[in-house]
C-alpha cells in the first residue's frame, strides 16, 4: 500500500469528483460527508507520504509497471513518472490541509447559492490539478495538469453567473488557452531535440543551444503567467473581483505550485543559470512595486487583496531567485529557505484576510463592498483577527510574516542593498493600504441589524490565526523540521537525477 | 548569520504591554450614561460641512502620479485582445533577455 | 530545400495570434485559439516522421521502419483538451450574448 501512495493521492479526489453528482438523490448530508471523507483521506495520505519521504529520500513512481522494460540508453524508464521529494511532499501536505479547511469554511458561506454540487466537482478537480503540478515527473503531465487547472478555474470564476463573471471567465480562459499552447510548443521543441520527455533524462543530456533557450523561455513565460507576477499579472484583479472566496484561495495555491514547478525545472533540469536568476529578480521587484502602486488608487476590497497577492508572490520569487544567483555563498541557501518559508506564511496571511472579507460579504449580503461601514462594534472578534492578519502580512515581530521576511531581507542584503530597501518600503506601503481598508470596514457608525457569524467560518478563521501565531513564535523549529530538507532537495541537482 | 529569537521573551513583552493597557482601561470612568452627549466625539473647531469619505485618504499620492495612472489605464483596458498582446510582449522580452 | 511543414506551422500560429490580438468578436477569438492549437498539433506530429516509414500498427506489418508513435499520443490528448476549451469558450460567448444583445 505504501508503494502506491502518490497515485492514490491524485486518484482519490478525481474519483470523488466524478462520483459526486451521482449522490444527488441521497440528500445534502451524504454529499458533504463524501466530500469531507475524500479531502480528509487525501490529507492523511499526503502526511504518510511525507513521513515516507523523510525515511527513504525520494519516491519515484512509474505508472503501469513497477520495473518497466522499455528503458532509455541512460537507464531511465520511458513511462509517465510521478516524483515526490522533500519539497513537494511538504508543500502537498500543507496545501491539502488548507484546502480541507477552506472546504469547511465554504459549507455555510456558500449555502445560499444553487448549483453547489457543480461547484464542489470543480473544486475537487482543481485540487487534482494542484497535486499534479506538485508531483509531476515529466513534461507532458505538466501540460495536462496545467490545462486541467486553467479550465476548472475558469469554471469557478463564472460561478455567480452575472454578466461581469462571464466576461471575466472568457478573458481568463482565452488568455490561458494561448498560454498553455505556448507551453506545449516549448515542450515540442525540447522533444524534437532530445527525443525524451522525462525531466531526469533531459537534465542529463542537455546542451545549452539556442533552441534550448527558446524552449526555456516559452515554458517559463507560461508558468509565470499562471503564477501572476510582473509582466503577466493583469488577469488577477479582474478574476479575483468576481469569483467566490474559496476559488480565490485555491487559485493562489495553484499560483504557488506553479512557482514551485518553475524552480524545479530551472534548478533541477537546466542547472544554475545566472542570467535567468537576474531576470527573475528584476521581475520580482517590479511585481512588488506594481502591486502596491496599483492598489493605492483602488477602492474595491477584493481587487486590493488581489494586488497584495501579486506583491507577496514577488517576495517569494525575490527570495528564491536571489538564492540562485548567490548559491556559492552561505547566504544563497538562507535566501532559498526564506523564500520557501514565505510560501507557507503567504497563503496563511492572505487566506485569513480573504476569509474575513468573505464573512463580511456573507453577513451584509451586498455586492458593493464600498458601502460596508462600522463592523467593528458588533463583531469585535472579526476586527481583531483582521488586525492580526494586517500585522502579519506587513511583517510585525511576533508573527510569522516577520520571521520569513527578515530572512529574505538579511540574505538579499548581501547581494545588493537596493533590493532590501525596496522590500522594506513595500512592507510599509502594504501596511498603509491595509490600514485604510481596516478603517473603512471596521470603524465608524455601526449598522443596525446584527446577524451571528456562522460557527464553521469562525472556527476556520480561528485555526488560521492559531497557525499564524504558532509559526511566528517558533520559527526555528518549523524551519529546521520542514524547510531545511525541502531547500536541500531543491538545490541539489544530483539528488534529483539519480533515484 | 544567526537570528536570535526567543519566543518566551516575546510573550513576556506582549503580556507586559497588555497589562499596562488593561491598567489604563481599568482606571477610567465607570459610571457614564450611554447615548447622551457624554459619548459623542468632540470637534475642537469647525465641524466639517460635507461628509468626506475615508477612501480618499491617499488623494495627494494619487494626484501626483496621475499621468502614470492614466498611461497604465490606457494600456490595460480589460479586454482579452490586450491581455494576449501583453502576454506575447512579455514572453518576447523574456526570450530576448535570456538569449543575451 | 525549404521545409514546408515548419513554414505551415509558423504561418498557422501567426494567423491565429493575429486573430486573438486584433479581433473583437467573441466567436472569432474562440476560433483563432482553435487555429493556434491546430498549428501546434501539426508541429508535434511532424516530429515523429521517419524517412520511408509506415504507420505504427503491428498486425500484418511489412518489415519496414515505423513512424514514431509517441507524438501521436501527445496530440490525441491535445485535440481533446482543445475541444473542451473551444466548447467552453463558445458556450460562454452564448451566455454573454444573451445578456448583452451584441457580440
**In C, which residues are within 8 Å of A158 by CB distance?**
92
Asked if A200 and A60 count as a contact pair (C-beta separation under 8 A), the reply is no
Q: What is the pLDDT, as a whole number, of residue A495?
A: 57
For the stretch A338-377, pLDDT in tens is: 888 899 899 999 999 999 988 888 887 766 666 677 777 7
d(Cα A376, Cα B59) in Å, to the nearest integer? 25
B18 part of a folded domain: no
Mean pLDDT of A15-44: 88
Residue A66 binned pLDDT confidence (cut-offs 50, 70, 90)? low
Domain housing C27: 4-100
- In this structure, is residue B77 part of a structural domain? yes
Q: What is the pLDDT of residue B80?
A: 83
pLDDT band at A193 (very low <50, low <70, confident <90, very high): confident
Is pLDDT at A65 greater than 70 in this prediction? Answer: no
How far, rounded to the nearest angstrom, does the alpha carbon of residue A73 sit from its chain's CA centroid?
37
pLDDT for A194-217, tens place per residue?
888 888 778 777 888 888 888 888
The verdict on residue B62 lying in a domain is: no
Residue B1: predicted pLDDT: 37
Minimal C-alpha gap between A164 and chain C (Å): 9
**What cell was used for A208?**
545549452
Q: Which chains touch A (3 or more CB pairs under 8 A)?
A: B, C
8 A C-beta contact, residue A423 and residue A408: yes
Q: Are A255 and A229 a contacting pair, CB within 8 Å?
A: no
| The residue count for chain A | 499
Across A101-110, A166-175, A207-216, the highest mean pLDDT is recorded for: A166-175
Q: Which residues does chain A have within 8 Å of residue B11's beta carbon, measured at their own beta carbons?
A: 398, 473
Over 70: is that where the pLDDT of A75 sits? no
Q: How does residue B2 score in pLDDT terms, banded at 50, 70 and 90?
A: very low
Nearest of A263, A264, A265 to residue A212 by alpha carbon: A265
What one-character-per-residue DSSP string does B8-36 give?
HHHHHHHHHHHHHHHHHHHTS-----TTS
Mean pLDDT over the full length of chain A: 85
Which value does ipTM take for this structure? Answer: 0.93
The answer to whether residue B80 is domain-embedded is yes
Residue B96 structural domain: 69-100
Task: Say yes or no for a CB contact (<8 Å) between C21 and B79.
Answer: no
pLDDT level of residue A68 (50, 70, 90 thresholds): low
Query: Which band of pLDDT confidence, cut at 50, 70 and 90, is reported for residue B49?
Result: low
A177/C29 CB distance under 8 A: no
Residue A468 forms contact with B (CB below 8 Å)? no
Least confident interval from A42-56, A73-87, A164-178: A73-87
pLDDT band at B40 (very low <50, low <70, confident <90, very high): low
Domain tally, chain C: 1
- Domain tally for chain B? 1
The whole-number average pLDDT for the span B34-62 is 70
Q: What is the mean pLDDT of residues B55-65?
A: 78
Closest-approach residue (CA) in chain A for B58: A296
Ranges A54-58, A143-147, B50-54, most confident: A143-147
| Neighbour-count burial for C43-72, b at 16+ CB within 10 Å, e otherwise | bbbbbbeeeeeeeeeeeeeeeeeebeebbe
pLDDT for A130 equals 93
Judge: A170–C26 Cβ closer than 8 Å, yes or no. Answer: yes
Amino acid at each position: 500500500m505504501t508503494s502506491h501512495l502518490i497515485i492514490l493521492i491524485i486518484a482519490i479526489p478525481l474519483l470523488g469528483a466524478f462520483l459526486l453528482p451521482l449522490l444527488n438523490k441521497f440528500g445534502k448530508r451524504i454529499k458533504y460527508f463524501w466530500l469531507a471523507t475524500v479531502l480528509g483521506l487525501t490529507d492523511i495520505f499526503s502526511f504518510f507520504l511525507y513521513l515516507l519521504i523523510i525515511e527513504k529520500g525520494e519516491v519515484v513512481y512509474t505508472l503501469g509497471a513497477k520495473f518497466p522494460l522499455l528503458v532509455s540508453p541512460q537507464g531511465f524508464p520511458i513511462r509517465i513518472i510521478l516524483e515526490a521529494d522533500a519539497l513537494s511532499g511538504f508543500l502537498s501536505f500543507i496545501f491539502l490541509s488548507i484546502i480541507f479547511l477552506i472546504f469547511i469554511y465554504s459549507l455555510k458561506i456558500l449555502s445560499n447559492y444553487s448549483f453547489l454540487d457543480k461547484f464542489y466537482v470543480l473544486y475537487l478537480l482543481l485540487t487534482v490539478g494542484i497535486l499534479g503540478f506538485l508531483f509531476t515527473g515529466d513534461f507532458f503531465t505538466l501540460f495536462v495538469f496545467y490545462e486541467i487547472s486553467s479550465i476548472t478555474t475558469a469554471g469557478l470564476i463564472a460561478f455567480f453567473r452575472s454578466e461581469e463573471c462571464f466576461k471575466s471567465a472568457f478573458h481568463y480562459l482565452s488568455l490561458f488557452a494561448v498560454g498553455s499552447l505556448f507551453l506545449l510548443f516549448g515542450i515540442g521543441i525540447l522533444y524534437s531535440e532530445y527525443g525524451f520527455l522525462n525531466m531526469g533524462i533531459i537534465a542529463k543530456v542537455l546542451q545549452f543551444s539556442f533552441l534550448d533557450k527558446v524552449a526555456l523561455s516559452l515554458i517559463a513565460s507560461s508558468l509565470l503567467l499562471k503564477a501572476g507576477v510582473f509582466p503577466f499579472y493583469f488577469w488577477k484583479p479582474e478574476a479575483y473581483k468576481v469569483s467566490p472566496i474559496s476559488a480565490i484561495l485555491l487559485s493562489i495555491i495553484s499560483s504557488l505550485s506553479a512557482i514551485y514547478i518553475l524552480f524545479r525545472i530551472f534548478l533541477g533540469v537546466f542547472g544554475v543559470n545566472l542570467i535567468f536568476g537576474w531576470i527573475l529578480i528584476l521581475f520580482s521587484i517590479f511585481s512588488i512595486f506594481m502591486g502596491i502602486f496599483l492598489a493605492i488608487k483602488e477602492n474595491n476590497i477584493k481587487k486590493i487583496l488581489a494586488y497584495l497577492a501579486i506583491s507577496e508572490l514577488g517576495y517569494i520569487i525575490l527570495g528564491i531567485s536571489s538564492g540562485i544567483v548567490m548559491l556559492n555563498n552561505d547566504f544563497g541557501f538562507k535566501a532559498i529557505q526564506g523564500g520557501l518559508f514565505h510560501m507557507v506564511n503567504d497563503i496563511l496571511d492572505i487566506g485569513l484576510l480573504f476569509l474575513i472579507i468573505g464573512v463580511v460579504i456573507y453577513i451584509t449580503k451586498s455586492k458593493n463592498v464600498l458601502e460596508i461601514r462600522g463592523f467593528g462594534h458588533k463583531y469585535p472578534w472579526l476586527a481583531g483577527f483582521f488586525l492580526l492578519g494586517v500585522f502579519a502580512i506587513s511583517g510585525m515581530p511576533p508573527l510569522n510574516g516577520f520571521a520569513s521576511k527578515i530572512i529574505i531581507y538579511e540574505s538579499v542584503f548581501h547581494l545588493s542593498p537596493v533590493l532590501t530597501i525596496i522590500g522594506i518600503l513595500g512592507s510599509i506601503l502594504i501596511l498603509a493600504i491595509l490600514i485604510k481598508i481596516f478603517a473603512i470596514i471596521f470603524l465608524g457608525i455601526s449598522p443596525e441589524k446584527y446577524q451571528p457569524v456562522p460557527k464553521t467560518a469562525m472556527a476556520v478563521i480561528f485555526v488560521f490565526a492559531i497557525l499564524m501565531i504558532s509559526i511566528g513564535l517558533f520559527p526555528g523549529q518549523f524551519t529546521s523540521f520542514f524547510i531545511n530538507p525541502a531547500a536541500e532537495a531543491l538545490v541539489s541537482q544530483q539528488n534529483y537525477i539519480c533515484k | 548569520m544567526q537570528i536570535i529569537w526567543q519566543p518566551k521573551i516575546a510573550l513576556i513583552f506582549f503580556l507586559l504591554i497588555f497589562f499596562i493597557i488593561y491598567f489604563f482601561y481599568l482606571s477610567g470612568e465607570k459610571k457614564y450614561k450611554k447615548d447622551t452627549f457624554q459619548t459623542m466625539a468632540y470637534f475642537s473647531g469647525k465641524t466639517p460641512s460635507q461628509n468626506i469619505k475615508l477612501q480618499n485618504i491617499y488623494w495627494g499620492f494619487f494626484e501626483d502620479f496621475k499621468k502614470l495612472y492614466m498611461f497604465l489605464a490606457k494600456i490595460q483596458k480589460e479586454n482579452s485582445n490586450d491581455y494576449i498582446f501583453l502576454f506575447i510582449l512579455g514572453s518576447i522580452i523574456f526570450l530576448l533577455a535570456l538569449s543575451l | 530545400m525549404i521545409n514546408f511543414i515548419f513554414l505551415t506551422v509558423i504561418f498557422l500560429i501567426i494567423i491565429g495570434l493575429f486573430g486573438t490580438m486584433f479581433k473583437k468578436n467573441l466567436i472569432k477569438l474562440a476560433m483563432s485559439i482553435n487555429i493556434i492549437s491546430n498549428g501546434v498539433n501539426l508541429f508535434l506530429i511532424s516530429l515523429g516522421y521517419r524517412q520511408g516509414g509506415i504507420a505504427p500498427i503491428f498486425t500484418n506489418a511489412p518489415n519496414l521502419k515505423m513512424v514514431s508513435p509517441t507524438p501521436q499520443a501527445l496530440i490525441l490528448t491535445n485535440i481533446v483538451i482543445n475541444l473542451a476549451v473551444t466548447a467552453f469558450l463558445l458556450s460562454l460567448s452564448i451566455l454573454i450574448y444573451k445578456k448583452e444583445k451584441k457580440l
